[in-house]
Structure 1
Amino acid sequence: MTSRTASGHIRFTTNVLRSLGIANDVLCLLIAYVFALIVYEVSIGYYFDAHLHRTGAVILGVNYLLIKVSRDGYTIFRGQGEDLGSTSIADFLLASGLTALVVLQLGMMPEFSRGLGLFFIGFGVVLLFLSQMAFRRLIWILMDRGIVGQRVAIYAPDRAIVSKVNQLLDIERLPHLKIIGYADDRIGAKKSSVDSIQYLGGFDALLELAQSGKLDQVILAWPDIEQDRLDFIAESLSSASIDLCLLPRETTEISTRYKVNFLGSVPVLAIWQQPIRDVDGLLKESIDRLSALIALIVLSPLLLMVAIAIKLESNGPVIFRQKRFGFNNNEISVLKFRSMYVDRQDSTGAKRTEKNDSRVTYVGRLIRRTSIDELPQLVNVLRGDMSLVGPRPHATKMKVGDKYYFDAVKGYAARHRVKPGITGLAQVRGLRGEIATVERARKRVEYDMYYIENWSPLFDIRIILETFVKLVWDKHAY
């Protein structure tokens, strides 16, 4: 879509940058091929089949463009600071490798000049890298001059929602969006700015701006809008050449990181998704079970000594079993070394362990302080109930304040989308041990959710290493 600036110049929305990005890459590859020919002739000068090498360069270029388009590499400003062409070099090298495989499969490698091919790839990498920086600079210049960009207005039922939408867009860091104001039809609405966003008036003012060409997009942020009202707004604004976007209720009322997915061509809001799936799930499971097996073998002398010490100090079983919430909110039997006197322990977890708790034995204090009491959970990991790293499993009757944990903290159950762990992010961030307040419980769940949304094998390794440090310095475990 195009329109004109106040000075009469043509202005574009950011869709034009997609075409410019493709043209930029094609030009880079053409220049790289010409440079490669010149340098090859000057430095090596051997005969080569020009037609064959042109064909190879075209195939490489087509592969590169297809790879980049297939992953939406030309999509502009997807948010969180991501901009155009951030992985162009990797795409080009992948395309080069695929082209080399095609040439090798066709048995034409002996006829290809390796020197010319390397020159072309080398110049291609350099030019694509330099052109990305120049292209970003060009984008900023075009936006600063008002030639490219989108003028956006927010239409919402109250000032709080306007402020929320503004915060969400600010987090996304989308430099091409310019919020020119907000519209509010309520009788008696405050006609003042919200977070530096000026008040435009009611819907009539919004429609006038759209029809006069001073507006490119309207964001309709109305969580409880009735269908008749939505139909009226859509029909009225359809007379102007603008974009009309409906912001889902979940955007302003749900704090989770939902995503827009497609079932075929049908758009859906994925509020929750399996966080560790497919190959990632198999990788984590394999690492967990193998590591647990090795740890049990290596630590077997320590485990035996602890078992003997527990048995010598007090009567009762060495292992304490407790029902806790596990994967998919199902109950699992978690194993621990017994650290309390048998007649005083609470298998339900309703009574929290406190500092200098009289129920804890002398050996129990030592193994709880160093978390040795948790080592039998390696068996839980080996049989698939738990993971080495994940949200700590809580007893089914565990309370914080006068409420059960799952009632006291909103969104608590979402932490069960992955297997519970022997250690976790919350534990290495100072939330190990007694959780006596709702605020502290809420913070622990926030860390659990962050771990789930940002899991990686390296993240697990980091948490495990930090756990060993905390065993020495943490004073919250007793």
Structure 2
Amino acid sequence: MKYSEQKRKIDFILSLIGLIILSPLFFGIIVMIKLESRGPVFFKQKRIGINNSHFKILKFRTMFIDAPKDMPTHLLTNPDQYITKTGKFLRKTSMDELPQIINILKGEMSIIGPRPALWNQYDLIQEREKYGANNILPGLTGWAQINGRDELLIEVKAYLDGEYVEKMSWKMDIKCFLMTIFTVFRREGVVEGGTGRRMSEEIASSKEQNI
């Protein structure tokens, strides 16, 4: 059996178990969202899936319903004015991403892989094309997420996504999963306003040599 087929089976089993175990938490979050603000519980957004296909990613809604729909939060001038109190907590703990377990069950995402780009993030999509990162299932977390998340420049994020594609294996996936837990607890790399400005010296040096 191919690695991709094995990975899909593991994704399905783990996400199903996770959904069952976390169902009480889901219910509690749903109640918190509904009590604080009007609007749907889930936030749906068009994202880029495998082979540049489109799908609707699911998140717990963390913003008021008048917030911009197709702009990354870290690019908003003043994101705090749009984020609810419950939303701030969900974002801080990354629990707003939990509904993507459903996307994984449906086969639209994997547990580990490049984070799915917004449909209009053309620069990121184009950069990922250079490394074949658009040709695999996007993930709940990935190599770029544990190496900077929102702080990363687009070129670096795409480079790291390509590095994951090149090194895809069970060892790499387990490493990403364990490091994600560490990163979430430390809340590293989350930027709620402004653009990312982090680039590792190794990647910067590599790019300079190619000029």
Structure 1 residue 322 and structure 2 residue 35: aligned? no
1:353–1:389 CA distance, 2 compared to 1 (3 A):
farther
Q: Which residue does 2:173 correspond to in 1? A: 460
Assess if the C-alpha contact under 8 Å between 1:350 and 1:397 holds in 2: no
Q: Which residue does 1:428 correspond to in 2? A: 146
1:362–1:434 CA distance, 2 compared to 1 (3 A):
farther
TM-score between the two structures when normalised by the length of structure 1: 0.38
In the alignment, residue 101 of structure 2 is paired with which amino acid? L
- Within 5 A, what are the aligned runs for 1:92-241? none
Q: Which residue does 1:288 correspond to in 2? A: 11
Q: Which residue does 1:469 correspond to in 2? A: 182
Give per-residue Cα distances to partners, 1:218-250, cap 9 Å, x unaligned.
xxxxxxxxxxxxxxxxxxxxxxxxxxxxxxxxx
Aligned length: 190
Q: Which residue does 1:349 correspond to in 2? A: 71
Assess if the C-alpha contact under 8 Å between 1:325 and 1:332 holds in 2: yes
Whole-angstrom CA distance in 2 between matches of 1:458 and 1:388: 14
1:335–1:413 CA distance, 2 compared to 1 (3 A):
farther
Whole-angstrom CA distance in 2 between matches of 1:375 and 1:474: 16
1:434–1:324 CA distance, 2 compared to 1 (3 A):
farther
Q: Which residue does 2:198 correspond to in 1? A: none
TM-score between the two structures when normalised by the length of structure 2: 0.83
1:416–1:406 CA distance, 2 compared to 1 (3 A):
closer
1:393–1:354 CA distance, 2 compared to 1 (3 A):
farther
Structure 1 residue 414 and structure 2 residue 132: aligned? yes
How big is the shift at 1:411?
A: 3.5
Q: Which residue does 1:365 correspond to in 2? A: 88
SS at match of 2:144: helix
Structure 1: runs of 5+ lacking an equivalent = 1-277
Structure 1 residue 383 and structure 2 residue 106: aligned? yes
1:365–1:353 CA distance, 2 compared to 1 (3 A):
farther
SS at match of 1:320: strand
Q: Which residue does 2:202 correspond to in 1? A: none
Structure 2: runs of 5+ lacking an equivalent = 193-211
Query: Aligned residues: percent identity?
Result: 36
Q: Which has the larger radius of gyration?
A: 1
How big is the shift at 1:344?
A: 1.6
In the alignment, residue 472 of structure 1 is paired with which amino acid? F
In the alignment, residue 433 of structure 1 is paired with which amino acid? D
1:460–1:362 CA distance, 2 compared to 1 (3 A):
same
Whole-angstrom CA distance in 1 between matches of 2:143 and 2:181: 13
- Within 5 A, what are the aligned runs for 1:253-292? 279-292=2-15
How big is the shift at 1:304?
A: 1.0
How big is the shift at 1:406?
A: 3.1
Taking only aligned residues, the RMSD between alpha carbons, in angstroms, comes to 2.0
Q: Which residue does 2:203 correspond to in 1? A: none
In the alignment, residue 89 of structure 2 is paired with which amino acid? L
